[in-house]
Amino acid sequence: MRGFFEYTKQALLVTFSLLVICGLIYPFAVTGVAQALFNHQANGSLIEADGKIVGSKNLGQAFTDPMYFSGRVSAVNYNVYSKEDTVPDVNGETTYGGVSSGTFNYAPSNPELKKRIEADIVKFLDANPGVKRAQIPADLMTASGSGLDPHISIEAAYIQVKRVAQSSGLSVDEVNEIVLANTESRVLGVLGEDKINVLGANLDIYQKMKEK
């Protein structure tokens, strides 16, 4: 019995020591060093334009305007909302329920998946006349895991170029250039996938249009 009490005391004090070391000292040390050395990344790699924060380099955004590239399908609408979305409806529920992340979690066999993709394809073909079904790469019609994916594939960008150019008034060449400038190739030529950053490309379009 004496052993039991002795162990309880030791367990309690060891727990307390580790709580302080792992739960406080460690995260504070990481924060201190990260804030000092990599301040930009440690605060979320935020992008500023016109003196305001317009987003983060690492997070995608929902774009509805035809003059911007649209990104992948998101179950959480990229945490993007307008004022009206925060006003409760008759049931007291808001369209925007606060910051979150995730996906629809539709199994491959779920009929809802087929329905959602088909509806999106029809919508996309309407908005982009001249594009054929077989040209649409799957990444553009499927939901990302996080709902915050900042990238689309290169093909997914190129099939939108014509529409973006027409709606924004920029030339096709200018838009192609923007796509090229925001392309991120595989690391070392093998790791990951070739892709473009949607927010980066759209910010370039935004700036170009302001210059005109």
Partner 1 sequence: MWQIALVLLVYLPLVIGIGHYLYHVTMQKKTWLDPVMDRIDTIIFKFSGVKRVDMTGKQYVLALILSNAIMVFIGYVILRIQSVLSFNPNDIGNMEATLSFNTIVSFITNTNLQHYSGESGLSYLAQMLVITFMMFTSAATGYAACMAFCRRLVAKTDTLGNFFVDIVRVTTRILLPISFIVAMILVVQGTPQTFNANETAQTIEGKMQDIALGPVASLESIKHVGTNGGGYYGANSTTPFENPTVISNIVEILSMMLLPGACVVAFGLMVASRRKKVLFGKQGMVIFAGMGILFLIGLVTCYMAERAGNPIIDTLGITQDLGSMEGKEMRFGVAQSALFTVVTTAFTTGTVNNMHDTLTPLGGMVAMFNMMLNVVFGGKGVGLMNMMMYVLLTIFIACLMIGRTPQFLGKKIEEKEMKLIALCILIHPAIILVFSAIAVTTVAGIAGITNPGAHGLSQVLYEYASSSANNGSGFEGLADNSTYWNVTTGLAMFFGRYLAIIIQLTIASLLATKLWHSETVGTLKTDNAMFTFMLVAVVLMIGALTFLPALALGPITEHLQIRS
Tell whether residue 163 is a contact of partner 1 (CB under 8 A). no
Residue number with CB closer to partner 1 (18 or 180): 18
Residue 58: C-alpha distances to residues 81, 139, 150 (Å)? 18, 18, 6
CA distances 89 to 77, 81, 85, 134, 179, Å, are: 19, 15, 9, 41, 40
Q: Residue 9 interacts with partner 1 (CB under 8 A)?
A: yes
* Per-residue b or e along 46-70, where b marks 16 or more CB atoms closer than 10 Å to that residue's CB: ebeeeeeeebbeebbbbbeeebbbb
Number of residues that bind partner 1 (CB under 8 A): 108
Beta bridge partner(s), residue 184: 195
Given 94, 153, 166, 176, the residue binding partner 1 (CB under 8 A): 153
Sheet with 183-184: strands ordered across: 151-152, 195-197, 183-184
Q: Of the two residues 101 and 166, which places its CB atom closer to partner 1 in the complex? A: 101
CB atoms within 10 A of CB 115: 11
Quick one: which of 92, 93, 129, 190 contacts partner 1 (CB under 8 A)?
190
Residue closer to partner 1 by CB (options 83, 90) is 83
Residue 185 touching partner 1 (CB under 8 A): no
- How far apart (Å, rounded) are the C-alpha atoms in residues 150 and 44? 14
Which of 87-95, 148-156, 160-168, 175-183 is the region at the interface with partner 1 (rule: CB under 8 A)?
148-156
Q: Which of 69, 70, 128, 149 binds partner 1 (CB under 8 A)?
A: 149
* Comparison of 155 and 177: residue with beta carbon closer to partner 1: 155
Rounded to 5 degrees, φ, ψ at 57 are -55, -30
Q: Does 169 bind partner 1 (CB under 8 A)?
A: no
Give the shortest CB-212-to-partner 1 separation in angstroms: 15
- Cβ closest to partner 1, residue 157 vs residue 161: 157
Q: Does 17 bind partner 1 (CB under 8 A)?
A: yes
Does 170 bind partner 1 (CB under 8 A)? Our answer is no
Of the candidates 205, 207, 142, 210, the one whose C-alpha atom is nearest the C-alpha of residue 179 is 205
Interaction with partner 1 in 54-113: which residues (CB under 8 A)? 54-65, 68, 72, 78-83, 98-111, 113
Q: Which two tokens stand for residue 127?
A: 């908005």
